[in-house]
Amino acid sequence: MDRRAGEGGMKLVGFLFHYLRRYWRWALLALTATLVYAAATVLLIQLIQAIFGEVLRFDGQGLPGEVAGLVAPAEPAGPAMDADGATEAGQRARVFLDRWLNDGYERMKGAFGIHPGNVVVFVPVLFVFIFVLRSLADFVNGYAFQRIGLGATTDLRNELYRRTLEQTSRFHAEHPSGELVSRVVHDVGVLQTAISTRLVDLFQQSVTLLGLLLLLFSIDFGLAFVSLVAAPAVLYPIVRFSKGMRRTSHRAQERTADLANLVSESARGQRVVKAFGMEEFEAARFREATARHLAVNLRGQLLSNLSSPVIETVGVIGAGVFLMYAGRQIHAGTMDAATLIKFLFNLYLMYDPIRKLNKANLVVQQSLAAAQRIRHLIDLPVEIRDRENAVAVESLRDSIRYEGVVFRYEHREVLRGIDLEIRRGEVVAFVGPSGGGKTTLVNLLPRFFDVTEGRILIDGVDVRDLRLASLRGLVGLVTQETVLFNDTIRHNIAYGRSDLSLEAVEEAARAALVEEFVRDLPAGYDTQIGEAGVRLSGGQRQRLAIARAMLKNAPILVLDEATSQLDTESEALVQQALANLMRGRTTLVVAHRLSTVKRADRICVIEAGRIVEQGDHERLLAVGGTYRRLHDLQFQE
């Protein structure tokens, strides 16, 4: 099990408080509404007694003693409480609560001039007024918590997404896309539900429970104290169920991420799935994952549904002990049956708040499990970021220089001892066997990774001393895996630059030979290309990526296997577009097809992480080394 599943609840509450505190005004409104709701609930209970006593004229005269005691105002406890061990402070507290709760109605009658002639009208009107006030407080409380929950989790989701964007390629290699989708969408959604709905119950029912507890102390301090002493017996199973629910919820959210990963993988690889006839295999994998998802969620439901019966059973055992104590008090003459009945009635009213609190607590535990997973991602350090006092760079004036560059990945040395200078305007190609480190070498320039040893200089300045935004602004990128977005052709070319005119987009499109196929589309540049450009051919997608790089107009261009997946006709068109793009730019070309690098100013052969040969095409052929061997393999008849 992930150690994060056991992270302290208070630490997670502190983490969430960072996002909640900016909504303190709504929290203050919710707290006020909660207090009004709880006070109205207690007043309604007290008013029911008044209705029996005033409206129905059950004032205790001529009624059985037990009923008379229920409707008559409670008398302050006398010395008999001393015989039961009640302290003097306890007596004073009971008298205070009795006056505050039970005498309030009498004071209100005097303040409003209520007398037997109009009490029949006043009491029902007051009852309706308090009930409406309670309902209004419930509405305000619920909406305020919804506002807090939606606002805070929106901020959290934005922060989480921003942090994933800041992370390196290493991070994204270690965290599948489905897992990230699950955390950003599902886990934050679990938090939003808990804050928006269950925190209402947590606060509202807690304050209501406190009000009812005060009411119990006003009826009989000794009985209330005995009830309170039994509380730890009820709290123990709540704590145990809470820990179990959080662990189970953590595993359930991991299983949800597994499902998201499988769906993401099969969607991206659907052509391969169909080509190999693996539909049933993938369906079986998904069934296995859903079975694991079902098992862990059923355990969560078991805990959720078992918690209430267990807590109720413990409560009933406590009630049995309580009744034994109360029976002894009645038998000893220190308590009357009416007081016990009134106390039990109010004690029963505490059941619903306790039940709601237990349900809310279980949902909160699920949300804390989600918070653990979210916090883990947010707290991960960003490996590559601006150094203090980093400077901006606007252009390449002289050269790019690699000095003693070493790069290790997962304890494996990918590059070692790279020394290379690339002059402004030069086209340098990198070729060699697969896995030699060609792509890694060019990825170090825009700091997709940082060097392990050595340094890379742009005009004599270490790239780590440059601001990331300005450094990456110098580099245009076209890769073998064309990355396009589910948007229009125009927006994919402009990519995030809403200030660009259609004329600027069209100019880049013409240079990249995009216009040749766009003019045949009914919607032209406003054509939706689908996810990852699925509605375009491979060559069309690559030309669109070239147009995007051309519009960026960066002085340094990185071409990473830009034509490796194209047919001959498409490659010819893309090569023509690339020639337009490379004109006047310092270009680094990674290629397996040697036919694409013949015109490079210089070719570097990389093998086992080292530059083993350098020169132009003709010179390297004449040397008869690795380049000649690769050339002969590709062009042998």
What's this model's pTM, rounded to 2 decimal places?
0.73
pLDDT for 301-312, tens place per residue?
888 888 878 877
Mean pLDDT of the chain, nearest integer? 80
Q: Pick the closest to residue 367 from 585, 220, 189, 129 (CA basis).
A: 189
Give the chain's domains with CATH numbers: 15-379 (1.20.1560.10), 399-635 (3.40.50.300)
**How many alpha carbons fall within 13 Å on the CB side of residue 635?**
11
For residue 565, what pLDDT is reported?
59
**What's the whole-number mean pLDDT along residues 187-197?**
85
Kindly report the three-state secondary structure assignment for every residue of 595-624.
HHCCCCCEEEEEECCEEEEEECHHHHHHHC
Residue 98 has pLDDT above 50, yes or no: yes
For residue 116, what pLDDT is reported?
60
Q: Which of 542-546, 584-588, 606-610, 613-617 has the lowest mean pLDDT?
A: 542-546
* Other Cβ atoms within 10 Å of 357 Cβ, number: 21
**What's the whole-number mean pLDDT along residues 79-93?**
47
For residue 59, what pLDDT is reported?
44
**What's the whole-number mean pLDDT along residues 292-300?**
88
pLDDT for 552-609, tens place per residue?
888 998 988 776 656 666 667 777 777 778 888 899 999 877 777 888 899 999 998 9
Q: Pick the closest to residue 148 from 17, 38, 35 (CA basis).
A: 17
Sheet holding 586-590, edge to edge: 475-479, 556-560, 586-590, 427-431, 602-607, 610-615
Sign (positive/negative) of CA torsion 308, 311, 314, 318? Answer: negative
The β-bridge relationship of strands 556-560 and 412-423 is unpaired
pLDDT for 404-422, tens place per residue?
999 998 788 999 999 999 9
- Confidence bin at 139 (pLDDT 50/70/90): very high
What is the C-alpha to C-alpha distance for residues 228 and 561, in angstroms, rounded to an integer? 73
pLDDT for 477-506, tens place per residue?
888 777 888 889 889 888 888 888 888 888
DSSP string, 330-370: HHHTSS-HHHHHHHHHHHHHTHHHHHHHHHHHHHHHHHHHH
Place of tokens 């895996």: 481
